[in-house]
């Protein structure tokens, strides 16, 4: 009789306590799924570190914390659903559903923002793929897009009509855009600088229209900073570069030595020998580009001298290196003239005698 009473008592108590069993099983399943996802992420991270696979090496810092909050939110919603059914409070789960959904969306956006940051940071290690300025611009734009989409989705979850908001925002944006057209033009100019990349930070540029030459120190959203020859920082609105001619000296492939060497008419007989030796000297010089023929020719007859035209391209592009090479070339040419006893003419003046009447 005692066994029968105990069995009957268990049967009577079971329906009232089944909800606790459902909560336990559900939470256990959620924890199991979370453990499996975390293990998969850590395993993928370990493989990425062995293969050196960029942003995947930091996948744990990207996803683990947001995923913990996401699974915690799902667990809370599951518990509230079971409790609402057990105690006949169906509105409890309905009231919690928008908040839980919003938390899930925020967690997914959080993961997207973290992934974006690591991905852009990885791309910046490859300058040929994306520059620092371009990476910074894409990073800001992606952050804005993700945040705006997150806010719109959350408003939709709470069943708020976003169309009046968008219409009002469009009218407001038009008004603000008209009032701040200069700011927007400078912003668009900075965006185009980041996309087209006519110059980068550290490049030596020349702006003929602004009579400005110097290295680029910063490319911002609104301003670009160039330090001039007097070592003064010059702040240029980015809209200037939409119509300005920009010469990037840092990207030149060669520098040019262009000179005119004058010799006396008395040394005309030695001129062909001198020109031949100068050509041979230039062709053997290590800094002269062998693919571009140096031009050394008798160019003009002046009043008191003959002009030898010198036009040669050297591989040294940095200003200091170029000046050193030019100095070597001019020293070598002068030595050739001296070896052949060819002289350069000096300015002469003749003064006629004054006759008294």
Q: Torsions phi, psi of 50, nearest 5? A: -70, -35
Local confidence band at 13 (pLDDT 50, 70, 90 cut-offs) = very low
pLDDT tens digit sequence for 299-329: 999 888 999 999 999 999 888 999 999 999 9
User: 119 versus 101: which is more confidently predicted?
Assistant: 101
258: how many CB neighbours lie within 10 A of its CB? 10
Task: Give me the pLDDT at residue 279, please.
Answer: 94
Task: Give me the pLDDT at residue 123, please.
Answer: 66
Local confidence band at 98 (pLDDT 50, 70, 90 cut-offs) = confident
Please, is 7 exposed, middle or buried when counting C-beta atoms within 10 Å of its C-beta (0-12, 13-18, 19+)? exposed
Local confidence band at 16 (pLDDT 50, 70, 90 cut-offs) = low
pLDDT tens digit sequence for 158-190: 877 766 666 666 666 665 555 556 777 777 887
CA distance 249 to 256: 13
Q: What percent of the chain has pLDDT over 70?
A: 77
pLDDT tens digit sequence for 324-356: 999 999 999 999 999 999 998 876 655 665 555
Average pLDDT over residues 255-275: 93
Task: Give me the pLDDT at residue 134, please.
Answer: 60
């Amino acid at each position: 009789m005692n066994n029968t009473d105990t069995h009957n008592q268990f049967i009577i108590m079971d329906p009232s306590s089944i909800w606790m069993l459902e909560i336990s099983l559900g939470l256990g399943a959620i924890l199991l799924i979370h453990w499996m996802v975390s293990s998969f992420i850590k395993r993928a991270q370990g493989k990425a570190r062995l293969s050196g696979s960029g942003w995947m090496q930091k996948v744990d810092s990207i996803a683990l914390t947001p995923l913990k909050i996401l699974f915690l939110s799902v667990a809370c919603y599951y518990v509230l659903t079971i409790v609402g059914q057990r105690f006949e409070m169906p509105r409890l789960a309905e009231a919690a559903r928008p908040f839980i959904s919003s938390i899930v969306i925020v967690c997914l956006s959080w993961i997207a923002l973290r992934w974006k940051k690591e991905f852009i940071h990885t791309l910046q290690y490859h300058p040929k793929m994306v520059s620092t300025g371009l990476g910074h611009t894409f990073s800001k734009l992606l952050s804005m897009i993700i945040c705006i989409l997150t806010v719109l989705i959350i408003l939709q979850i709470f069943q708020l009509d976003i169309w009046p908001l968008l219409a009002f925002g469009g009218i407001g944006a038009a008004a603000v855009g008209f009032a701040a057209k200069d700011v927007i033009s400078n912003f668009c100019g900075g965006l185009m600088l980041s996309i087209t990349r006519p110059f980068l930070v550290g490049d030596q540029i020349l702006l003929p229209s602004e009579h400005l030459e110097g290295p680029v120190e910063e490319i911002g959203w609104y301003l670009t900073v160039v330090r001039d020859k007097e070592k003064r920082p010059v702040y240029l609105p980015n809209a200037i570069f939409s119509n300005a001619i920009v010469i990037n000296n840092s990207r030149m492939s060669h520098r040019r030595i262009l000179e005119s060497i004058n010799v006396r008419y008395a040394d005309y007989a030695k001129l062909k020998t001198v020109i031949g030796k100068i050509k041979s000297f230039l062709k053997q010089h290590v800094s002269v580009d062998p693919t571009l023929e140096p031009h050394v020719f008798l160019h003009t007859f002046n009043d008191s001298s003959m002009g030898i035209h010198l036009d040669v391209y050297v591989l040294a592009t940095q200003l200091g290196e170029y000046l050193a090479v030019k100095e070597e070339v001019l020293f070598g040419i002068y030595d050739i003239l001296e070896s052949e006893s060819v002289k350069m003419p000096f300015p002469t003046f003749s003064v006629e005698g004054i006759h008294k009447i």
